[in-house]
Homo-oligomer: A and B are copies of this chain.
Amino acid sequence: MQYTSQTLERIISELSKLPGIGRKTAQRLAFHVLKQPRNEVAILAQSLLDLKEKIIRCSLCFNITETDPCSICMNTKRDRRTICVVEEANDVLAIERTDQYRGLYHVLGGLLNPLDGIGPGDIRIKELLERVDSMQEVILAINPNVSGDATIMYIAEKLSGLPVKISRIARGIPIGSDLEFADMTTLTRAMEGRVTVR
């Protein structure tokens, strides 16, 4: 097949790289963009660039933020004795969406996965341990799968002996699913139903 435009071919190829976007969807998106006013497209393009330019990691909790420390870490109304450990920044968003949790967060940036060669040094466990001293409870809000369980066990082991309660959110989240896609009620119940690991 011969496209009449290199530019079109390039945007279709670029859009196809996005997750869940195949060639046909990419083509449909490209033709949609082509019909949009120039300033609308400029806003979209600039938003993409801003994402990389303006968003940084909070040096305390490693959540994504535009200010360091992030607004959650800076919020004096939040419970500074409770920390919720998650895999990625989108998990913070999912939990914030329930509007139930009032403590702080810690974003690991991954889960232990020996098969993929991801060990404790590759995710932010050391940084977590440094923060735990001042905490009353560590809530492990980590996806219930093999890597998640391994990570929970590892963290629980590392924290054993410290005077801190460790809990994991209830496995109300369907096994094999992703925390990010849980509905608010399920996620709220899972938070409430957290069980003590030790």
Which A residues fall within an 8 A CB radius of B? 1-8, 10-11, 14-15, 17-21, 24-25, 27-34, 36, 38, 40-52, 54-55, 63-66, 70-72, 88-90, 92-93, 96-97, 99, 180-181
Bound: A93/B19 CA distance, A: 24
Is the pair A32, B49 in contact by a Cβ cutoff of 8 Å?
no
Is the pair B3, A93 in contact by a Cβ cutoff of 8 Å?
yes
Is the pair B181, A27 in contact by a Cβ cutoff of 8 Å?
no
Dominant secondary structure of chain A at its interface with chain B: helix
Chain B contacts for A17, CB-based, 8 A: 40, 44
Report the minimal beta-carbon distance from A115 to chain B, rounded to whole angstroms.
21
Partner of A45, one of B21, B36, B48, B96: B48
Chain B contacts for A92, CB-based, 8 A: 4
Report the minimal beta-carbon distance from A136 to chain B, rounded to whole angstroms.
23
Is the pair A52, B41 in contact by a Cβ cutoff of 8 Å?
yes
Report the minimal beta-carbon distance from A40 to chain B, rounded to whole angstroms.
8
Is the pair B4, A71 in contact by a Cβ cutoff of 8 Å?
yes
Is the pair B4, A51 in contact by a Cβ cutoff of 8 Å?
no
Chain B contacts for A97, CB-based, 8 A: 1
Chain B contacts for A6, CB-based, 8 A: 66
